[in-house]
């Protein structure tokens, strides 16, 4: 194996720290203020869009005359410096892993770079494959994984992919990547042999020690 391919949000930093809640609030305000959704029904509308299209953004692209640049700037162009800071322990983990490192995220490039710089690990990433780099077709679409492995110049079987979203992990496994689900502490693990399971991102080091030869 050659590449450790990592999801970004709530994989490289802890769940529930406020980043996604802030972005969710911005998405809701865009939908109500710019697209006319009923504020009382916007959460249900997002659930419907995500269930059919994978992400709210993709659903809005399919169902509305969406100005994508305006949407991404409104929803993701926010300062996160009060929520994220340097993580020396995470940096140490990544420095010890003897693989190339890259990020694959459904977020836009500006958001991805802000998060990586705030965490103090941007310089450790060979590539950041953001929404713009996967044709605006987000995970778990197979095309997202195909675009990532092509950009990295490796076959899927040479990538270890880590994500907190089970749907993306299953899709990655179906595409031939070594998939690892970063499950929440209380999540039930399905009887599914297509992927590995860890409960903390730092468990990846031990898992890689078992997967890598020698």
For the stretch 195-204, pLDDT in tens is 889 999 999 9
Query: What average pLDDT does range 6-29 have in this prediction?
Result: 94
CB-CB contact of 26 with 78 (8 Å):
yes
In this predicted structure, the answer to whether residue 25 has a pLDDT above a threshold of 60 is yes
pLDDT digits (tens, 9 = 90+) for 89-101: 999 999 999 999 9
The per-residue pLDDT of the chain, averaged, comes to: 92
Burial classification of residue 193, based on how many CB atoms lie within 10 Å of its CB (0-12 exposed, 13-18 middle, 19 or more buried): exposed
Sheet strands side by side (includes 178-182): 127-129, 100-104, 3-6, 159-163, 178-182, 195-198
* Fold of domain 19-76: DNA polymerase; domain 1 (1.10.150)
DSSP 177: -
Question: DSSP assignment of 58-105, as one string?
Answer: HHHHHHS---HHHHHHHHH----TTT----HHHHHHHHHS-SEEEEE-
What is the reported pLDDT for 198?
Answer: 92
More reliable by pLDDT, 26 or 192 = 26
Q: Which superfamily does 3-13+84-211 belong to?
A: HAD superfamily/HAD-like (3.40.50.1000)
52 — pLDDT class (breaks 50, 70, 90): confident
Each residue's pLDDT tens digit, 108-141: 999 999 999 999 999 999 999 999 999 988 899 9
Does the structure show a pLDDT above 60 at 142? Answer: yes
Output the DSSP codes for 117-149. HHHT-GGG-SEEE-GGGGTT--TTSHHHHHHHH
Residue count of the chain: 214
Average pLDDT over residues 73-100: 95
Q: What is the pTM of this model?
A: 0.91
Q: Check residue 193 and give its pLDDT.
A: 66
Residue 192 confidence (pLDDT) above 70: no
Could you give the C-alpha distances from 100 to 137, 168, 188, in angstroms and in order? 24, 21, 31
pLDDT for res 11: 97
Mean pLDDT of 22-39: 93
Give span(s): CATH 3.40.50.1000, the chain. Answer: 3-13+84-211
CATH 1.10.150 placement within the chain: 19-76
pLDDT > 90? residue 171: yes
162 pLDDT exceeds 90? yes
What integer pLDDT is reported at residue 186 of this predicted model? 80
pLDDT for 79 equals: 93
């Amino acid at each position: 194996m050659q590449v450790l391919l990592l999801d970004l949000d709530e994989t490289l930093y802890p769940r529930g720290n406020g980043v996604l809640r802030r972005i969710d609030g911005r998405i809701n305000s865009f939908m109500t203020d710019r697209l006319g959704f009923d504020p009382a029904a916007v959460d249900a509308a997002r659930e419907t869009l995500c269930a059919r299209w994978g992400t709210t953004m993709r659903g809005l692209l399919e169902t509305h005359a969406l100005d994508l640049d305006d949407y991404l700037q409104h929803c993701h162009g926010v300062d996160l410096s009060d929520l994220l800071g340097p993580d020396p322990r995470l940096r140490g983990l990544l420095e010890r892993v003897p693989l190339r490192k890259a990020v694959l995220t459904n977020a836009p490039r500006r958001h991805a770079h802000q998060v990586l710089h705030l965490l103090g690990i941007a310089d450790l990433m060979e590539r950041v494959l953001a929404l713009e780099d996967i044709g605006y077709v987000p995970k778990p679409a197979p095309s997202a994984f195909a675009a990532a492995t092509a950009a990295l110049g490796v076959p899927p079987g040479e990538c270890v992919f880590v994500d907190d979203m089970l749907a993306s992990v299953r899709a990655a496994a179906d595409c031939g990547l070594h998939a690892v689900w970063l499950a929440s502490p209380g999540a039930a693990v399905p009887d599914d042999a297509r992927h590995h399971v860890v409960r903390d991102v730092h468990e990846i080091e031990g898992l890689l020690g078992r997967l890598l030869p020698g």
